[in-house]
Structure 1
Amino acid sequence: MKRILIIGIGAGNPDYITAQAIAALNQVDVFFLMDKGEAKQAMIALRRDICTRFIRPDRRYRFAEARSPDWSRDAGEYGTVIDGLNRDKQAVFEQLIGAELQDGQCAGILVWGDPALYDSTIRIIDSIASSGRHAIDYEVIPGISSLQALTARHRTTLNRIGRPVEITTGRRLAAGGWPADADSVFVMLDADQAFARLAGADLDIFWGAYIGTPDEILVAGRLADVADEITRKRAAARAAHGWIMDSYLLRRRDRD
């Protein structure tokens, strides 16, 4: 039997690593790393740094890297594109399991943030286990998500007492507008800055990019007042780094 640990490593700051995650890191024989290109080498470097920092000096481990499948948001209907991407990722993970992991050994997959929040690793590994092509068992170790890190850095809460909150994507926010009955909306994966379409609404925004890293950027305020500032800072950061990972919380201002 081969064992796989899906480990949430938090949203960018090594200090977000939990005691449970540290214990898991110290059980791993080989870490599977997905290379997403030169622009995102900082994310690979952070994973390596976490291992160096938290794995005992007497513990032997290694890395097995594979190229993450290419994909495009504009290649077709979004759900179909993501399904295809996950099938391609599954093929890569199956190759790594077959070639890099021996019976009785443990592999680690280090997931940014929390594995349960907008990440497909759990579904992919579960599909591999269910297929019967590999004899594997797996465990999920939760991590500090971008949702938790963002609200902590802005010293606010995800929701107000007795008020509903929705977690969604920029794509869905752009298509459907403000969700019915929501008081607060946490938005991830917003390449097109859907918040700008709501600038006329009476909302506060708590925005952040590269949360927990030395490149962290935070902006908060009335959406109508800071939307342009966020757009400028987001564009400048993306140009400087070649990629951006940001999220934001929108909240109605009609407080009572």
Structure 2
Amino acid sequence: MITVLVIGIGTGSPDQLTTEAVAALNRTNLFLVPDKGADKHDLATLRRELCETLIDHDRYRFVEVPDPDRGPDAERATDAYRAAVAEWHAERARRYAATIRDQLGSDGTVGFLVLGDPALYDSTIRIAESIRDDGRLDLAIEVIPGISSLSLLAARHKITLNRIGQPVHVTTGRRLPEEYRPELGDVAVMLDGSLQCKQLLPKHGDLTIYWGAQLGLPDEVLISGRLGDVIDEIEAARNAARAQRGWVLDIYLLRP
């Protein structure tokens, strides 16, 4: 039997891991990390350094698995986008299953290191279930929660995500322009590669935005204020963060 540990690692800083997550790291024989190419190799390095810092033995392997090409999401309509993501997940599952079989056979513990929390806008649990349910391998899946980017964003800006008795709506940048309305309350936006909140400026420029990038890392940056006043500053900071690392992880909250 192979045990799969889906481990939430927050931002990847050792300070962001729970004691349960540290214990899970130390149980793992094989860590699988997606290889997203040279521009994003820093993400794999971050995970490797985390293991080196927190694991108290050397009886583990760290394998980078080439990530399948996902394609131009921004250019796809909704149905095409969902179909492409489904195929991307299926190919990831095939590659991970083959690597597990080659590296462990039918017994051992595999760890997936998930930035943030595995329960929120992450596909690792689904992919592990696909490997199990399709009969590729006999797996037992465990999930260890992590500190989400939502929690960290609120902590860094010293705010609550909701106001008293009010809802919080969590969505993606792709969906924001079509579904935003003030009645949603506070809106947290994830996976926004192009700051879709700019499309809200004509009607909702008075929204307050709390934005953060590279949260929990040494190059963390925070900006807040009236959306119409700070959007250019946010865009410049986002571009600078991407130029420095080759990638940027950011999130924001919009408050009426």
Tell me the TM-score normalised to structure 2 length: 0.93
One of 92, 95, 118 as aligned partner of 2:95: 92
The reply on whether 1:117 has 2:149 as its aligned counterpart is no
Q: Does the residue aligned with 1:138 lie in a helix, a strand or coil?
A: strand
Q: Can you list the C-alpha shifts for 1:97-129, whole angstroms capped at 9, x where unaligned?
A: 211123331111111111111111101111111
Deviation at 1:40, TM superposition (A): 1.3
Q: Does the residue aligned with 1:31 lie in a helix, a strand or coil?
A: strand
For 2:128 and 2:178, how far apart are their aligned partners in 1?
31
The reply on whether 1:126 has 2:145 as its aligned counterpart is no
Aligned equivalent of 1:215: 219
Q: Within 5 A, what are the aligned runs for 1:1-256? A: 1-57=1-57, 59-72=58-71, 73-74=73-74, 76=76, 77-176=80-179, 178-179=180-181, 181-200=183-202, 201=204, 202-252=206-256
Deviation at 1:33, TM superposition (A): 1.3
RMSD: 1.5
Which structure 1 residue ranges, 5 or more long, are not aligned?
none
Deviation at 1:227, TM superposition (A): 1.0
Structure 1 residues 245 and 52: alpha-carbon distance in aligned structure 2, compared to 1, 3 A threshold: same
Deviation at 1:181, TM superposition (A): 2.4
Tell me the TM-score normalised to structure 1 length: 0.93
Q: Does the residue aligned with 1:187 lie in a helix, a strand or coil?
A: strand
* Bigger helix fraction: 2
For 2:67 and 2:129, how far apart are their aligned partners in 1?
19
The question of whether the paired residues in 1 share the 8 Å contact of 2:106 and 2:137 is answered with no
Which residue type is aligned with residue 65 of structure 1? E
Deviation at 1:69, TM superposition (A): 0.8
For 2:181 and 2:145, how far apart are their aligned partners in 1?
28
Structure 1 residues 66 and 24: alpha-carbon distance in aligned structure 2, compared to 1, 3 A threshold: same
Which residue type is aligned with residue 200 of structure 2? L
For 2:197 and 2:74, how far apart are their aligned partners in 1?
20
Q: Percent identity?
A: 47
Structure 1 residues 180 and 92: alpha-carbon distance in aligned structure 2, compared to 1, 3 A threshold: farther
The question of whether the paired residues in 2 share the 8 Å contact of 1:75 and 1:81 is answered with no
The question of whether the paired residues in 2 share the 8 Å contact of 1:12 and 1:211 is answered with no
For 2:150 and 2:127, how far apart are their aligned partners in 1?
23
